[in-house]
A and B are shown apart, each in its own frame.
Chain A
Amino acid sequence: MDQSLAVMLTIITAATPLLIAAIGELVVERSGVLNLGVEGMMVMGAVAGFAVAFMTGSTLLGVGAAIFAGIAMSALFGFLTLTLVANQVAAGLALTLLGLGLSGLIGEAFVGQPGVKMPTLFGIDALVPFSLLLTAGVAYVLFRTKTGLVIRAVGNSHSSAHALGYRVIAIRYLSVMFGGACAGLAGGYLSLAYTPQWIENMTAGRGWIALALVVFASWRPLRTLVGAYLFGAVSILGFVVQSMGLGIPSQFLSSLPYIVTIIALVIISGNKRLTQANTPACLAQSFVPDR
């Protein structure tokens, strides 16, 4: 019993960063912007969170720094894609490459340093209940309030929203920065709670898995929750199987989350009813207001 509880806890810890990052990206994509730079924002959040917590000894300041780093990165992306209408796919890749490079340079001084671990409640990190509240909050705002309606309108038809007098670019900026804050926080969770230390490229593709999760959840917050826990379980499965000593090479178990992501994408994307009805119609399309 004790062991299964421990496994449950590790699944939750593995799922939480995915959930936070995916929920943020979900809002971004609902507003019609595809930010492929989640990995870059996340890794910057991880290094900023670690660095500040290490220097001040306060995880709260660390979390603040992680969020700030994510927002700063996303604002850069916003400037590029919303103000300068650059290609969103390319700009997202640029954000990831820049984030990975910059975090490696900044984090070099912190490699091997002991980290500061976030306080826990009953063995659960403080950010776990927060991630659940965040999911519920986003689900409520997106589908039960006027704000959510406006965000989805901007994502589904930017010209109509513009014609109705909504400030498409401003709304998208805010959504993108919300996504940045979430990605930064998810990164901070990795370096402050999941493995409290700094390792280069420590996000290890989680930002990309979060992106896949949004598609997997067909842009629905509560399905994102289910998906994140499913992926958390898959990534922990590897450790559990390994501890049973079946002699399966660890590399195969480590590659499971990536393979499962691909399989999940294939299953969901083939289902037109799920994807086409929910995909924001203006996803990844640039908008330049008429004058």
Chain B
Amino acid sequence: MAYVASTPKEPFRLSMLVYDTRYRSYTIQIVVLLLFLAFLAWLLNNTVENLAAKDKDINFSFLFQRAGYDIDQQLIPYTNDSTHGRALFVGLLNTLIVAFFGCILATLIGVFAGVLRLSHNWVVSRLMTVYVETFRNVPLLLWIILAFVVFSETAPAPRDFRVTEEMAAAGEEPAASKILFDSVAFTNRGASIPRPYLDHSLGSFSVLDVPINLSVVAALALIAVGVWINRRLVVHARSVQEATGVRPTIWWKSLLILFGPIIVFLYALGFHLEYPELRGFNFQGGINVAHSFTALLIALSLYTGAFIAEAVRAGILAISKGQTEAAYALGLRPGRTMRLVVLPQALRVIVPPLISQYLNLTKNTTLGMAISYLDLKGTLGGITLNQTGRELESMLLMMAIYLVLSLIISSGMNVYNTAMKLKER
């Protein structure tokens, strides 16, 4: 009996493009491609027509023109004579600095709240539940605006800090005083914090008008070298432990290597803090941190912290109880069980949502717009856009920058995920 392995060859007919599943997917894709191209052409055509009607063109040269507006918070030198391009960078740095500190603060708050929410302590776990539910269920914008309004309406005016001669003679206290060991002045115009100074600075040079302080570079290099040597030390200690079974005591060496050089370095250069002083109508000296920054930072970290707390809780709950029990059976103490058994496994569950929260936080910095924090959205997508009337260019450039930021963060996540993936066989 002959067995025919293949189906008889059918001649190709045009109707098979629709009815035959082998060809239908090609038909669908070609139709979709044509529709998509037509849609793109339609958009482009509309854009060209609209631009022609408004007598505009697509031109990014406005980035090199004088900006003419001031930005309160600037990490690189900027005046209103600088270009729109530089304003863009100042804004981008403002976005990044809020995002950076926000991520750190939110992680601290989130891990703290997430772990405490799982605690057996009834009061603390309820308190954390209230925190998480309150912040998760109310819009972020409300927290940002509320923080800003409360800071600027309740903080005392600089004149409340003044001690006049009559008051000093009468032994009266001023209406307000600086907090944190008389170092930080929290007024309705912003917070003045101490500024670090060096007596013998190593000097600085500038790249593209961005001054780079050699002392800071040297300090960072010292810290990096310290961390690297410390890591070698830990690796060495572990190999000794594995060879002999006795772990050498290294904690004081670690401390010395990590903190010794930097302290000596700072002392040698004459490190001191310049405290804000009330002069005239406002505080002079120190660094003035605007309330828009503080409010945005606090609201973002508390809000994102609530989501991170949930991620941490879910991650810890995802590790089966058997793991903990097995660790106890091996004789590990609860602290070590957490550190050596539960957390390494929980991290695998926690980190992906954690990174996506970082992404959200970075994108949410744009809400600073509501309290006039001049981030990328405020400079490029706000004042620059309004002054130059270049909506299309500004918006496209801004979207591209946010896309690149997001891609960098999420590619970081992918690297971590591959490194932490369960390695089976």
- Do A and B pair up? The answer is no
